Structure 1
Amino acid sequence: MPAESSLESPTRAVAPVVGVLALLAITVALAATVAVGMGFAGTAVLESGPNAAFDLEADADRSELTFEHVGGESITVTELDLKIAVNGDRLEHQPPVPFVGADGYRGAPSGPFNPETDSEWRVGETATLRVAGTNDPAIRSGDTVSVTVVVDGTTVTRLEATAD
């Protein structure tokens, strides 16, 4: 009998080792599946919109807003939407971009906001628009002017300036 028990002992020790290796393989496979899934989720977030930076100046005397594209990707102006507010109150008439002679604005805007210019707004280019007195609220010296820049439905940035 002692000979049989020494033979059975090594055979029984193999089953727990095989079980541990099987559980380890399943754990590694599940971890790899989760990592790949998270990688795809992260990619979708990164592709949400263009990366661009702008400066804003507000001139109360002329009721003029000047925008400068200071960095990042070019913006297709036909996909651009501006949401302008003065001291937190949205302007009654928001500017359609590009435009000429829109309600609530004086004359034609300059730069890429004018439909006669290139539809791509590139780094270093400046655009201006003048708010008409019929657009409410009026821009006065010391007012805070905020502009949300939206491209193809995605907010790119929010700008703020104090009117001079």
Structure 2
Amino acid sequence: MDEHRSDEDSPDSRASDTSPRADGRDRAVTPTVGVVLLVAVTIALAATVGAAALATGTPASPPPTAVVDLSVRETTLTLTHRAGSPLDVRDLRIVVRVDGDRLRYQPPVPFFAARGFHGGPTGPFNSASDPTWSAGETASLSVAGTNRPRLRVGSVVRVTLYEGEFRLVVVRAVVR
């Protein structure tokens, strides 16, 4: 029976069946799979970073800049736009502080009559006026005695103008 054995059945030939073939067909399988996985991970990472970058968004345009002065006489706050970009008061939020404390009622510019304020404001703060506040224009409003804290001679008033969440201007004045 031994004479019918072929070279393929020899112990040496069976051991060589589990090793890579001499023609090289099995040799590149592992490196190829590694390269494919590396490319897939790179693409997934790039997609994640790209999505995160787009999700944060970019501002549509730079915020405006302005130079504003404040004067306070008794209960009237007068703000003068001295220089810079025209401001649309419909996009502004004004925060008034007296000696560090926020007024209970803040001015909802533009407005005509609002709780915590006397009558209608002047200039672009008045809802009947052009809402564009340009350099050289003055706007004023009067704080009512029902608003707290009260404005008293010697009090420090700080007014902060915001466009959205961006702080445009912070001005201070002493009540005269």
Same fold (TM over 0.5): yes
Alignment of 1:53-68 (within 5 A): 53-54=65-66, 55-61=68-74, 63-68=76-81
Kindly tell me: are residues 73 and 87 of structure 1, through their superposed partners in 2, closer, same or farther at Cα, counting changes over 3 Å? Answer: same
**Uncovered stretches (5+) of structure 1, i.e. residues with no partner:** none
Q: Distance in 2 between matches of 1:70 and 1:145?
A: 21
Measure how far apart 1:7 and its partner are: 4.2
Alignment of 1:1-164 (within 5 A): 7-8=21-22, 10-43=24-57, 46=59, 51-54=63-66, 55-61=68-74, 63-68=76-81, 70-72=83-85, 74-75=87-88, 77-122=89-134, 125-140=137-152, 143-151=155-163, 154-157=164-167, 159-163=170-174
Name the TM-score, length of structure 2 as normaliser: 0.65
Q: Distance in 2 between matches of 1:72 and 1:20?
A: 57
Asked which structure has the greater CA Rg, the reply is 2
Kindly tell me: are residues 25 and 89 of structure 1, through their superposed partners in 2, closer, same or farther at Cα, counting changes over 3 Å? Answer: same
Name the TM-score, length of structure 1 as normaliser: 0.69
Measure how far apart 1:161 and its partner are: 1.0
Secondary structure of the equivalent of 2:28?
A: helix
Amino acid at match of 1:21: V
Secondary structure of the equivalent of 1:52?
A: coil
RCO greater where, 1 or 2, for CA within 8 Å and sep 6 or more? 1
Contact 2:156/2:173 (CA < 8 Å) preserved in 1?
yes
Secondary structure of the equivalent of 2:148?
A: coil
Secondary structure of the equivalent of 2:172?
A: strand
Amino acid at match of 2:40: I
Amino acid at match of 2:39: A
Q: In terms of mean alpha carbon deviation, does 26-35 or 88-97 score higher? A: 88-97
Superposed CA deviations along residues 40-66 of structure 1, whole A, max 9, x for unmatched, are 2121x636x972334341324564231
